[in-house]
Chain A
Amino acid sequence: MRADLIDIQVEDRGDDVEITLSGSLGSYQLAAVREKIEMLTEGPGCFVYLNLQRAHFKVGDYLDLFLELLNKMHARKSKLVLIFDSDEQDEYFARYRNIFEIYPSREAYKDSGVSKQLQQIGVYYTSKTGVRLSPTVAITLALLILGWAITLFFIIAAQGRDIADKQAQIIALQAQKDRYVHEIDRLESSIGPLRKLGVVQDTTMLSSFGVIQDWVSYLEYLENDRREK
């Protein structure tokens, strides 16, 4: 019940955890605040932002709490960032300004530099997974993976181009075949009446492999042809 004057808000974005404290923080609330803050910072999170913009500190004891918290976060390889943008808080944290990382907002910290954040992520996941990579090895690995990715991309792109060419060829040949079939049909229909009259000899069937498929048939055809002549 002693914590009833404080509102606590947690926004968990995976690696980023923002804890917002608001309300009057006097000496009666200290124990409760300590318990709640420790409880909330215990879980996962590479960057823990403690938003104190709407907190009003009535006693100086909270500085010790935040210093302890900073140590704990440091031991857990997480980064503690204090978020506020007010003169009141500036004055409250003036003594330890160089110890704490203080930013006006979470976005401001995000914009403050990529390298230190990457380094922090590295440190955090090293402690979590037990795998430690030196920056040189990390960069080499990253370049290697990037190289593989680029090579893979080029191979896929080249194959894609090849497949596209082949497809275009197939489509063109298909169109050509259709055109020829159409043309043959047209020609057949035009000579149809003449063939009926016997003016034109129908040789189309002869050239067909469907009709003469073996030597016996071929010889029979030659014999018939000779007899007709």
Chain B
Amino acid sequence: MSTQVPPRPAEDERRGALRGTIDGIRRTELSTSQKLMIFVLSMSLFGLSNIILEIIPDPSIGPVDVSVSYMVFVPLTVAALFSPFWAALGAPLGEIVFTDLLMGDFSGLAEVEGFLQMFLAVFIAGSLVRNPRSRVQIAIASVVLVLVDKVLSAVVDLSKVWIGVEDAELVEGLPQSMLALETIGLGVDVIMSGVLLGAIPAMWLIPALHGKIEPLMGMRPRVPGEPIPGAAPRTPLFVGGALLLSVASFGFAFLEAFDISAGAFEPDFIDRFGSGFLLVAVAAIAVVLTVAVLLFRLSRRAAETAGS
């Protein structure tokens, strides 16, 4: 991609799917430093927006939190204007580094699932925007982003209570109230994060920045109908599938551990400790290793494309 800015297309003019090099000079492939730029931009902006939300007090009506959980329009803007994949990789890392580590909110392995949920959400939503000037696509994408993230996290939350509390079904009212809380929470999140601080700002911000922010980073603005930059056709699907599987395996690991330790409640300490400990530890390590290897491969691939 060169720094040259083509004349602005008229609203919604489609140019058809362009493949490979554009007019022989410009490429749709991103270079290594461009990928790094998108990654860093998405990371710092999303981290900043999280810090701002951290300072604002969270109002809550009874047990239901009506606060905004994140500013959806920030990662969506980067994903829609540059590249969904690298924006999706950067945004959750920004959240972890800026807020969770700094505010002491870091929850270890739970951060891995948070990272995966946010990655999938931003990547899917960003890929939905084929034309950064179409307000309808932007609105749909921001609601989808919140839905993907929150539904995944609700499932994980519910299973966590199931596992964390030994006999959840024996405690009266707990499962029902958790389910009700999660459902109400999902609705509130879609309205607050997805629409009020998602779709509405994004519908204004993305078209306003389109064509202005790209030259600052040395890139050419996206043209409607072009293949998504930096999204190799097979790899994201593969990675997404693998990540989904690892989320699932995470849940399964804990479920299994729950069954075993609930079954054996004798004072026979070593036995209980041995089986439960080994199973969970091995499963957790396997999941973390898989994710680490995947991420490592990705950064390798980034380096390779630069070399070629």
Whether chain B is bound by chain A comes out as no
Using a CB–CB distance below 8 Å, which chain A residues touch chain B? none
